[in-house]
Amino acid sequence: MARDLILVAVAYLLGSVPCGIVIARLQGNVDLRRVGSGNIGATNVLRAVGKGAAVLTLLGDIGKGALAVSLARWAGGSSGVVATVALAAVVGHLFPVLARFRGGKGVATTLGVVLATVPAVGGLLLLIWLAVAAIWRYSSLAALAATAALPPLLWLLDGRPAMLGASAVLLVLIFARHRDNIQRLLAGTEGKIGQTVRGQGSGGH
């Protein structure tokens, strides 16, 4: 029990590492929370700093989720513990204690935990994200499409109840964090991938 609690706490702390904030500050001397959409994810880093910084942020956000789950699996955690660790890592990104609980949207970290838990599902989610982003150029729409596909793909390719339960929670959390994006998508005012920063509150992911 103590080991499992430690794994969950470590996962939350890993998820709390604000990769986008750190990279934007180091590479562009930019306070990411004050530009563009104000989000700390890779899409806002792309607009505010550039492609290289965005790639590093994406890899960092994916990596911290994958690392948290990998530690749980290495420690011999049950499927329930691994699912809880996965949720803790994403919650850490959404509400990071290391960034005053002002986090991102959780999509990249979710991809990381899924890749480390069920690689086939993670690969399919990545393909869905890339396809939607390439066709419609909206990062948020791609994120929502991939997230919506998570529970059915896990049901088809994995089927463990703990992971299905975790995927349902992740679906609710990520859609809730994207409520403003959903409104802008419906209104036709959402910022597209690669658009330049227009100031705080601009549409974007």
* 38 pLDDT more than 80: yes
pLDDT confidence of residue 205: 62
In a domain, 203, yes or no: no
* 87 pLDDT more than 60: yes
User: pLDDT per residue over 93-120, tens digit each?
Assistant: 999 999 999 999 999 999 999 999 999 9
In a domain, 110, yes or no: yes
Is residue 105 within 8 A of residue 42, CB to CB? The reply is no
Range of the domain at 46: 2-187
Q: What's the chain's average pLDDT?
A: 93
Is residue 65 within 8 A of residue 111, CB to CB? The reply is yes
The whole-angstrom separation of Cα 73 and Cα 105 is 25
Is residue 127 within 8 A of residue 145, CB to CB? The reply is no
In a domain, 199, yes or no: no
User: pLDDT per residue over 130-160, tens digit each?
Assistant: 999 999 999 999 999 999 999 999 999 999 9
* 16 pLDDT more than 60: yes
* 201 pLDDT more than 60: no
The pLDDT-based confidence of 45 (bands split at 50, 70, 90) is: very high
Q: What angle do CA 160, 162, 163 make, to 5 degrees?
A: 70
The pLDDT-based confidence of 194 (bands split at 50, 70, 90) is: low
pTM for this model (two decimals): 0.92
In a domain, 37, yes or no: yes
In a domain, 197, yes or no: no
For tokens 């069920």, what's the residue?
118
In a domain, 169, yes or no: yes
What's the number of domains the chain is made of? 1
The pLDDT-based confidence of 204 (bands split at 50, 70, 90) is: low
